[in-house]
Structure 1
Amino acid sequence: MTHLYRPRAALAACSLLVALAGCSRAVHPVKGTVRFKDGTPLTVGRVVVDSDDGKSGSWGAIRPDGSFEMGTLAPNDGVPAGTYRVYLTNTTTPPPADLSVPFTPRPLVNTRFNDKETSGLAFEVPKETTWEIVVEKP
């Protein structure tokens, strides 16, 4: 009786491997900088991308020097091939260390950069893997 289960188990295992292989997409390293028109870096926030078909997205944390690396499944692992609309999030003044102090965040960039529909930023991967993003102050 066990000999009947072996082919079924092998078939199930092969089916699973084929399904998993079909789900993986090659990613390409993408990095860049975000700076203002005067050349100073944007020091906080995230660069976020959504594919035109809405099926994939990635993000990268903006470092204090304005640099970032994009990740999809893990931080800094890259972005699948495709055309992406790019926007920024979390681009407000950071809260003070003393959270008991009243605080109102101020936008650091023009709010048009916080929406993929209005940012005007788009990149094609793998054709463009080093992004220089120039933003305007509010």
Structure 2
Amino acid sequence: DEDEGIEQRLDGMANFGEFPWTVYVQERVANGSFAYKCGGALITSGAVITAGHCVANARSNPASFQIVAGDWDRRHTRERLPSQIRQIDRIVLHPNYYSGSLYNDVAILIFNHPLNESTPNVANICLPAIG
């Protein structure tokens, strides 16, 4: 398939569906549209883990954020499968987050409704078992 050929590897792009847990976080800008803010990883069908500094200044306004899951290439609108967009209902910042340090620089974003994970381009991140 041309879309998964040598050109992609030379450009540094992942294959379609290669990292289905990867999402991007968008923040509402002045004109009302959403712009890329940072990346994240899908940990459940209803939550993403991201950097705390990405959302710390707006934790009282979670509706100013949304996530996009299943998008292979943000530069193009035509995808093999549609991406899924979810509004953020709640931001849970690490209780020991401090903006002057990278320690505890983590936040969980809770969606307004779960993602559909029955497609190959959206899935939870693969984490080791506890213990």
Query: If the TM-score is normalised by the length of the shorter chain, which range does it land in?
Result: 0.3 to 0.5
State TM-score, norm by structure 2.
0.33
State TM-score, norm by structure 1.
0.32
Structure 1 or 2: larger helix share?
Answer: 1
